[in-house]
Structure 1
Amino acid sequence: MARMREETLRGPKSMDEGQVEDTQERDLENPPEEDSLDSNDMSPLEKIMTLEAELIQAKAKADEHKDHMLRLQAEFDNYRKRTQKEKTEIIKYASERLISELLPVLDNFERAASSAQVNPDFNAFSQGIDMIYRQLQTALNKEGLKAIEAAGQPFDPNLHDAVLRVESDEHPENTVVEELQKGYYLKEKVLRPSMVKVSN
């Protein structure tokens, strides 16, 4: 009777209050499990083993990168040695083609000298020398050799080497009066300046 009076005074439990109490009772009976994967809950031994595994992986990657760098270094060294050898060969045999062009000239000089001993005809010898001279000019012109114009030209210290200064009524001042030795271009470069006389 007393309990009935208490319930009467309090009033009947609502459905929500009953559900809350049931949920609280279940929570007390079955507390939530803690995250077993939390690294903070790992034992010192487990932490050490994890770090060792990560260290092994990092070392493997470092070794792989090191091997790659060593291979690249070896390839570069081989390339450098190969290009140096090729450069040396180019320098060593740079004049090979020119020498090949001049060999027929050398042969003709030998023939002319032999002919002069057998036949002392000066005209024939002179013609032979002239032919060889033209042959030599042709071979050198193919390589880019070109004579520098000098006589009658204004003196240019970049092209002419003045070895004498002379008085001249026929030429303006600072003009090349006479060429003493030919000068040459090799392609666009002055190979040898002309030796000249220049008017005062």
Structure 2
Amino acid sequence: MAKENPKHRPPSSHNPQADAAGDGHPFQDDSVPKGQPASDARTDDRPDDLQADSERSIDELASLQEELERAKDHALRCRAEMENFKKRISRQADEDRRYANMPLMSDLLPVLDNMNRAIEAAEKTQHGAALREGFRMVAEQFQGVLAKYDCREIAAFHEPFDPNLHEAISQQVTDEFPPNTVVAVAETGFQLHDRVVRPSRVIVSTRPEE
């Protein structure tokens, strides 16, 4: 018998990979449907994940926009409050400067009262003309200083009684004037700018009883 030459042995039809696939080889993915690539099966749920991420991003953006609007509104309110505070401080400072001389004027007015009383007393004497004129000049100069600081007399005589400017110390029955008319001034009042330093002390008319 002739020996078989191994070099001329016919090729075998046996395929190990095919056998392994047919025998349920562990490398085979049974979850992949036939005719569908494995990569497509693993990415079926990605569109849903992307949509969920997009919705979360939109919600977060809306929340950030709301917080930004609240922050802007708070900043505007704080700015408005600061401006109002500055205006109040400025007005208060102006008033403090405007009426800083109130105590001084209040202390000086009794001095003027005494000068006027001295003038009245000098008018009652026969030889007090020079003294009277001297007091009158000093009183006029004193009133000029008060007027320089806008401290002026409050009009009262024959004026309607005003409780904001006048202090009634008595009533006088008369039919010569309408009721509540100032018929006499016991002490002259003064005001600094538009604020009363002291009211005029006055006597007010009243209607006679019928």
TM-score under structure 2 length normalisation? 0.40
The structure whose residues are more often helix, as a share, is 1
Greater Rg by CA: 2
